[in-house]
Structure 1
Amino acid sequence: MTHNHPTTWPAGFRAHTGHGGLRGSGDDISIVASDRPAVSAAMFTRSLFAGPAVVLSRAHAAGQRLRAVTTLAQNANVATGRRGEENAAEITGRVAALLGIPAGEVLIGSTGVIGRPLPMDALRAHFDEAAGRGPAAFGARPLDVARAMMTTDTRPKTAGRAVGPARVVGVAKGVGMLEPDMATMLAYLFTDAALSPADLDAALRAAVDRTFNCLSVDTDTSTSDTVAVIANGAAGPVDPDAFAAVLADLCLDLTRQLASDGEGATKLLRVTVERAADPAQARRVAKSVVNSPLVKTAVHGADPNWGRVLMAIGKNTDETTIVPGRVTVRFGAVEVYPDEPGPDTLAGLAAAMRQDEVDIVIGLGLGQAAATVYGCDLSAGYVRVNADYTT
């Protein structure tokens, strides 16, 4: 998937990246901040083991006045007890001091290995050095921040859009432990549009519902999931409905990037369920297909095995309104159920499934609702990445 990364931030934002000792080499810490007061909205994981970064950020985000985000890569700072809580608070305090703003206006994201304490001496040294550099420390581009956020990602994820006189720029990371129960992974969105906190929150929740909450790599929900949007108003007011549409489009762009870079992935898998009784049913059935290891491995092998798709639909045993005789299944534009394609069509179907993006479309014959979810194939590479993750 080719992608044009935005090269600058919206007006009034600046960023810093650097090496804070979280990984062996390369940038592993980032800060994006507004030079002026801002309004914000945020959503977080519902995991019972939410990390100290999420707990602290949830409290800071409640005021809807965030104006800075800092991210620590390679270490989730989860299951680290009281020490982890103190370290997260110290980091936000140091970022706030660096920017000259209250600590309560800083959101912190921490992502990576669970159960390891942060290397605080190295991080303190990094912040001291950044403070000594002053404004010169804040020259990072969106691509620099996206790279500094990466853990097992193979490529950075950014996206940019215009809306009226304003711009929106997003950065994200995450390729595994992705089965959202609010949003997914870490995703931060920055805009110079002027919006009310209520309009910003409504736009974010609608966008997340249609994009990040329709993404799954491996059915596992992270302890650190965070998505936030900060609007500083530097470009002036925009139409809230137009902004909401642009934000949803940008989030869909990031969702597709995340899905196609799933751990060990070679293909983007898109599953659409249409003619469902309601949107919730459409999403449940689509998720059962995109999450099926047998479907995912068939996609990896370019094997048009629609029997596995029927299996994945059929295991939704609570969906008693689904009747097999009403169901249709297409791989791309080719219907494979209930009418079995001929040998010539099967050969072409296998060729289509070798493409970088594979579409499976299911009709339930129950109503007019639809949903599309995003995932990836399942390869031996996924096992290798996660078998060797901490060693």
Structure 2
Amino acid sequence: MTHDHALTEAAGPLVWPVGFRAHTGHGGLREHGDDISVVVSDRPATSAAMFTQSLFAGPAVVLSRRHAEGRNLRAVTTLAQNANVATGRRGEENAAEVVRRVAGIAGIPADQVLIGSTGVIGRPLPMSTILAHFDETAGRGDAAFGAGPLDVARAMMTTDTRPKTAVRTVGQARIVGIAKGVGMLEPNMATMLAYVFTDAEVPAGELDGALRGAVNRTFNCLSVDTDTSTSDTVSVIANGAAGPVDPAAFAEALADLCLDLTTQLAGDGEGATKLLRVTVGGAGDPGQAKRIAKSVVNSPLVKTAVHGADPNWGRVLMAIGKNTDETGIEPGKVTVAFGDIEVYPEEPEADTLDRLTALMRRSEVDIVITLGLGEAEATVYGCDLSAGYVRVNADYTT
């Protein structure tokens, strides 16, 4: 499955909003290619951020949480291929030193820098090569900051097969988003690493509300393998260079951009060959709709059926039925469809099965469920489960 990163004409070209610049380079975290990135606003900004709820949150998350409290972040730096998690006091000191170096290069206070680290857990950062890179970067001055959004998205990748970017406009302002993450991915706060930059002028409180609303509808509706990372981070920085915008229009544009990134992440899940969307309607409340939808999208049996283009609706019923705490659900009220073809409660005719199989062979598969309990609805995003997922993760650290 492919995604068009050239973006629509309405969204505009993939360049930074006014007042942002970026650097990428090789710091020895991986054998070849850029693995360090920095994006910085040249002017003061407002910000909002959300982080993993994992009990083993890494030093980058712990430090960034403190910095995010000021709601005035101006820079984001990311280290790829090494999560710097479960590395003790040494890991904390290394994260702080990276932030200090980035702040010095960017010419801003250290507490206005957010740091993300992603990759293998339990290995110390190779600080000698990282610091050598920052020394060289500082010596280049402004010339070091010529990277574009696509360069940063590529530098953040670990097991991703392609970079994830998105652009939206609102009024005279632009919103640019970049993300990475294809495994250890069921967010419970935000998701993987996702950074949004805009030249819109948005008060910090409004920005925080817009981000939380967008995350709830998008990143928190994403699951590749049910595992929540120790390093998940999402942030938005708004520097106001383009002036104020309509708050409702901005919130909707931000949510639309996050949904774009969400579907890109789901479609690039480790070993994935198909994007899987599960929509549950007729629920008693939005929470119930999301719980049931995630139960289906996370089911290994459903995911393997999707991979094999097998319209096995019995597995969908199983995934709904195992939610034994949902005592209000009655089988007689439930309907299940693959795309626009209903498969339960009435079994499809024999001549419909060929059409079902053809539908299941598509690169995007939709499962639609109604519970018959109310008006609430939720859509969640995931992918199929293939032998490729096992290969990627069995060999990950080697």
Which residue does 2:348 correspond to in 1?
Answer: 341
Q: Choose which of 308, 313, 317 in structure 2 pairs with 1:301.
A: 308
1:1-391 aligned at under 5 Å gives the runs 1-5=2-6, 6-391=13-398
- Offset, 1:343: 1.4
Q: Report SS of the residue matched to 1:193.
A: coil
**Counterparts of 1:366 and 1:122 in 2: how far apart (Å)?**
58
Amino acid at match of 2:52: T
What is the alpha-carbon distance in structure 1 between the residues aligned to residue 360 and residue 149 of structure 2?
33
2:15 is matched by which residue type in structure 1? T
Amino acid of the structure 2 residue aligned with 1:125: A
Q: Deviations over 1:273-313 (max 9, x none)?
A: 00100000000000000000000000000000000000000
SS of corresponding position for 1:3: coil
Match of 2:10 in 1: none
In 2, distance between residues paired with 1:251 and 1:169? 10
Q: Which amino acid aligns with 1:48?
A: L
Q: Distance in 1 between matches of 2:225 and 2:3?
A: 24
Query: What code does the residue aligned with 1:3 have?
Result: D
- Offset, 1:211: 0.1
Q: Distance in 2 between matches of 1:383 and 1:322?
A: 34
Counterpart CA distance in 2 for 1:7 and 1:338 is: 47
Quick one: distance in 2 between partners of 1:238 and 1:266?
39
Amino acid at match of 1:245: E
Distance in 1 (alpha carbons) for counterparts of 2:190 and 2:318 = 27
1:2 deviation in Å? 2.9
Q: SS in structure 1 opposite 2:242? A: strand
Q: Aligned partners of 1:387, 1:352: CA distance in 2, in Å?
A: 31
Q: Give 1:4's aligned amino acid.
A: H
The amino acid of 1:194's aligned partner reads E
Contact residue 286 and residue 378 of structure 2 kept, 8 A: yes
2:225 and 2:14 mapped to 1: Cα distance?
Answer: 32
Output the CA distance in 1 between the equivalents of 2:145 and 2:191. Answer: 27
Q: Distance in 1 between matches of 2:14 and 2:139?
A: 26
* Distance apart, 1:344 and its partner CA: 1.1
Percentage of identical aligned residues: 80
Alignment coverage as a number of residue pairs: 391
- TM-score (norm. length: structure 2): 0.98
SS in 1 for 2:230: coil
TM-score (norm 1): 1.00
Deviation of residue 3 (structure 1)?
1.1
Q: CA deviation at 1:7?
A: 2.6
Q: Deviations over 1:72-98 (max 9, x none)?
A: 000000000000000000000000000
Aligned partner letter, 1:78: V
SS in 1 for 2:3: coil
SS state at 1:234 partner: coil
Letter in 1 for 2:81: Q
Counterpart Cα distance in 2 of 1:60 and 1:198:
16
Counterpart of 2:9 in structure 1 is none
In 2, Cα distance between equivalents of 1:153 and 1:200: 29
- Contact kept, 8 Å, 2:159 with 2:270, in 1: the verdict is yes
